[in-house]
Chain A
Amino acid sequence: DQQVKQNSPSLSVQEGRISILNCDYTNSMFDYFLWYKKYPAEGPTFLISISSIKDKNEDGRFTVFLNKSAKHLSLHIVPSQPGDSAVYFCAASAFDSNYQLIWGAGTKLIIKP
């Protein structure tokens, strides 16, 4: 039973346009969410996070939106650049989860020139 779902295995976006990556979760106890980016043959790197007390967090070209009622979060990248081509993972954590992060399966983002 996947508690964190990234339903799009891949996404193709034109360079300069907006990339929107989606993540849904089922556990209402999740209250902290993170996005990681992974290039081939490398470990994931932290991108941005959001606490459930917020509905938006912004860092440069990256913005994460959280809709608690819909149990949905999204990562927006504006404008998309070729270096953004990577796999993006969504991860979530609950207050009583004993420090465990639950990860989505990832979405492969391809930025087209």
Chain B
Amino acid sequence: DGGITQSPKYLFRKEGQNVTLSCEQNLNHDAMYWYRQDPGQGLRLIYYSQIVNDFQKGDIAEGYSVSREKKESFPLTVTSAQKNPTAFYLCASSLKGQRWAGELFFGEGSRLTVL
């Protein structure tokens, strides 16, 4: 079945540690995105990538890093520089730029808790 797989689903991290969230898609989509969701707020864009080996910052990229070495994969690293990393992270993909794709396909999310 085609879809987006995020792992891990739940992750605990100590302060000062970097952590990497995995996102893999087998939909053959060109574009991939990382969003963050906090209680009472809409989704906020962290990073997005329209093509392999290229990515752009979203609204809240500080303290995060990404790579896009393969079309299928778009891992997100939450670094120790991120001041408030506890959140629900969602990865998504689309056929083209999200504006024209009509829809984003989302993974099930990864909940990161910093202890």
Q: Are A and B physically bound partners?
A: yes
Q: Is the CB of B45 within 8 A of A101?
A: yes
Give the total of B residues in contact with A, Cβ under 8 Å: 26
Given A43-B4, A49-B103: A98 and B56 interface contact (C-beta under 8 Å): yes
Q: Is the CB of B102 within 8 A of A49?
A: yes
Contacts of B56 in A (CB 8 A): 98
Which one of A2, A32, A43, A100 lies within 8 Å of B45 (CB-CB)? A100
A4, A91, A103 — which one has the most chain B CB atoms within 10 A of its CB?
A103
Q: Is the CB of B41 within 8 A of A105?
A: yes
Task: Enumerate A62-113 residues with CB–CB distance to B below 8 Å.
Answer: 89, 91, 93, 97-106
Given A43-B4, A93-B98: A103 and B42 interface contact (C-beta under 8 Å): yes
The contact size tier of chain A is 20 to 34
B15 at the interface (CB under 8 A from A): no
Q: Which residues of B contact A (CB under 8 A)?
A: 4, 31, 40-45, 48, 50, 56, 58-59, 90, 92, 97-99, 102-109
- Can you add 15 more A-B contacts, CB < 8 Å, to A43-B92, A99-B50, A103-B42? A34-B102, A42-B109, A43-B4, A43-B107, A45-B106, A46-B105, A93-B98, A99-B48, A99-B97, A99-B99, A101-B45, A101-B98, A101-B99, A103-B44, A104-B42
Q: Which residues of A contact B (CB under 8 A)?
A: 2, 4, 9, 32, 34, 36, 41-46, 49, 89, 91, 93, 97-106
